[in-house]
Chain A
Amino acid sequence: MDKIQNMKNEYQQMVKKTSPNSNLLRDSVRAFWVGGTICAIGQLITNIVKSFGYSKDEASMIATIILVFLGILLTGLDIYDSIGKYAGAGTIVPITGFANSMVSPAIEYKKEGYVFGVGARMFLIAGPVIVYGTITSVIVGIIHYFI
């Protein structure tokens, strides 16, 4: 038994050595500038909306809606996945990434119908984000209440 385990360990070391790693620095730089650009666009929209006399909260809400719309539009036009491939976390973390994660399964599973296809599978990737995001917000809310 030990012999087999040793063989497995030895092989896993071999695999680690042979498998190429992603270029962390390059990927980080790309994520930073693309993600930063998306945020800057969000800020720009907020500022423009504010100049029309909306409050800060209203303006951020409108900016969010516009960014989500853009994320969905670019997903539908088969562009977002290419940007995502280039930028990685830079396009996953902003709210546009959330929109992409909802719409891409909706497109993919349309063939399975609107109920069990689009409706159910839409949350395939975003579901965990919503679940754990909600739980986290409750915990933070409780902490906030006592501080």
Chain B
Amino acid sequence: MSKHIGNQTIKFDLPPSIIETASIVGPKEGKGPLARYFDTILHDPLWGEKSWEKAESKLVNKSIEKVIEKANITPEDIQYIFAGDLLNQLTASTFGIRNYDIPFFGLFGACSTMAEGMMLGAMTIDGGFADYVIAEASSHFCSSEKQFRFPLELGTQRPLTASWTVTGSGAVIIGKNNNPPYITYITTGKIVDLGIKDPMNMGAAMAPAAADTIVTHFKDTGRTPNDYDLIITGDLGYVGKELALELIKKYNYDIENIFSDCGIEIFDAQTQDTHAGGSGCGCSAVTFCGYLYKEMKNNKWKRILFIPTGALMSPGSTQQGETIPGIAHAVVIENQLG
């Protein structure tokens, strides 16, 4: 029987297990509401390195090291790494894992990368192509500011719709069907672009993609919001979340009571001055690897829909007046099967 259902969804016959997760975050994230869920909190965003880029690669390297150590296996047991970041040519990831002797797939899905890695990883496991794979994603506030916005020391004001790139890396090991939690369904997103041009309002650019993927997921699987304990997007922030809710309502689904966003959870907007919320590949990655995974292990939720969102732009495309295409991928994580 085909595992592909509806238009964009895959239902796994033998859902792969999320064996273990690891998360490392920067000092600001370590002062946020989710601090107690993270494995390592840095005191210095440079982490003893000479550049922000090197620091981000170290995040990648150490989170992978940590997750392998926590799972009590060896790097030789891992058949593939699926990883990505926001830096040009994925240097944070490639430089970070160059000393591991593990086959590597580099991914760019902007801030949706964590889901992309988990989806491809789960498919690889379900397809019988590997016993263990790692999905990893990272971002660093300072390297992102440098590449996408302004030098750190420039005295500028951020608009209220702007988000704050999370410094952090999250890594998961996905393996064959074993203990919960499991990845049971994935709904791969399409690129959706409703003409938003403002790179300081990425929540607005990504909200239509998130809404599209969530609605498609319900249609493909026949499930409804009632089937989930939590529906959590990656980094829509306050503005994007509001917009996504409104868009989803148009399709007669009401998810308001169970809907949240990693970018909203990770910072305290009142005291941490993060405006629209957290963003970046690291935002959904560390929120999943820390908060969501651990609370699923505690059975706080039995079934969640995790939807990392990405704004697929570059500084050059923005300067050329291009609009910002958005993408969102949905991953269903459940504690019980059948």
Q: Is residue A131 contacting chain B, with contact meaning CB distance below 8 A?
A: no
Given that A81-B152, A105-B151, A108-B146 are contacting pairs, would A19 and B201 also be in contact in the complex, using a CB cutoff of 8 Å? yes
Complexed CA–CA distance, A22 and B335 (Å): 44
Number of interface residues of B (CB under 8 A): 27
CB–CB A111/B243 < 8 A: no
CB–CB A85/B157 < 8 A: yes
Complexed CA–CA distance, A78 and B154 (Å): 9
CB–CB B155/A85 < 8 A: yes
Q: Is residue A75 contacting chain B, with contact meaning CB distance below 8 A?
A: yes
The winner among B194, B208, B239 for most chain A CB atoms within 10 A is B194
* CB neighbours of A104 from chain B (8 A): 150-155
The winner among B50, B153, B158, B160 for most chain A CB atoms within 10 A is B153
Complexed CA–CA distance, A14 and B246 (Å): 9
* CB neighbours of B201 from chain A (8 A): 15, 19
Q: Is residue B161 contacting chain A, with contact meaning CB distance below 8 A?
A: yes
* CB neighbours of A107 from chain B (8 A): 151-153
How many A-B residue contacts, CB cutoff 8 Å?
A: 92
Task: Using CB atoms, name the residue of chain B closest to A88.
Answer: B157
Minimum CB–CB distance from A21 to chain B (whole Å) comes to: 7
* CB neighbours of B151 from chain A (8 A): 104-105, 107-109, 124-125
CB–CB B243/A18 < 8 A: yes
Given that A18-B204, A22-B159 are contacting pairs, would A12 and B152 also be in contact in the complex, using a CB cutoff of 8 Å? no
CB–CB B160/A81 < 8 A: no
* CB neighbours of A21 from chain B (8 A): 160
Q: Is residue A58 contacting chain B, with contact meaning CB distance below 8 A?
A: no
Q: Is residue B178 contacting chain A, with contact meaning CB distance below 8 A?
A: no
Complexed CA–CA distance, A117 and B196 (Å): 32
Q: Is residue A120 contacting chain B, with contact meaning CB distance below 8 A?
A: no
- Stretch in contact with the other chain, from A60-68, A95-103, A138-146: A95-103
CB–CB A100/B157 < 8 A: no
Complexed CA–CA distance, A143 and B50 (Å): 51
Given that A12-B195, A22-B160 are contacting pairs, would A80 and B242 also be in contact in the complex, using a CB cutoff of 8 Å? no
Task: Using CB atoms, name the residue of chain A closest to B242.
Answer: A18
B52-88 contacts to A, CB under 8 A, are: 53
B241-259 contacts to A, CB under 8 A, are: 242-243, 246-247
Q: Is residue B298 contacting chain A, with contact meaning CB distance below 8 A?
A: no
Task: Using CB atoms, name the residue of chain A closest to B196.
Answer: A15
Q: Is residue A11 contacting chain B, with contact meaning CB distance below 8 A?
A: yes
CB–CB B204/A19 < 8 A: yes
Task: Using CB atoms, name the residue of chain A closest to B155.
Answer: A84
Given that A14-B246, A18-B239, A19-B161 are contacting pairs, would A81 and B195 also be in contact in the complex, using a CB cutoff of 8 Å? no
A13-34 contacts to B, CB under 8 A, are: 14-15, 18-22, 27
* CB neighbours of B270 from chain A (8 A): none
Given that A19-B239, A22-B157, A84-B157 are contacting pairs, would A11 and B152 also be in contact in the complex, using a CB cutoff of 8 Å? no
Q: Is residue A48 contacting chain B, with contact meaning CB distance below 8 A?
A: no
The winner among A76, A87, A105, A124 for most chain B CB atoms within 10 A is A105
14 residue pairs of the A-B complex, CB under 8 angstroms, read A11-B208, A12-B195, A14-B243, A15-B239, A18-B204, A18-B246, A19-B201, A81-B156, A85-B156, A88-B157, A91-B155, A101-B154, A109-B151, A111-B50
Further contacts, 15 of them, CB under 8 A, given A83-B155, A107-B151: A15-B196, A15-B243, A18-B242, A20-B160, A81-B153, A84-B156, A84-B157, A85-B158, A92-B155, A103-B153, A105-B154, A108-B151, A108-B152, A111-B50, A111-B53
Give me the interface of A with B, judged by CB distance under 8 Å.
7-8, 11-12, 14-15, 18-22, 27, 75-76, 78, 80-85, 87-88, 91-92, 97, 100-101, 103-105, 107-109, 111, 124-125
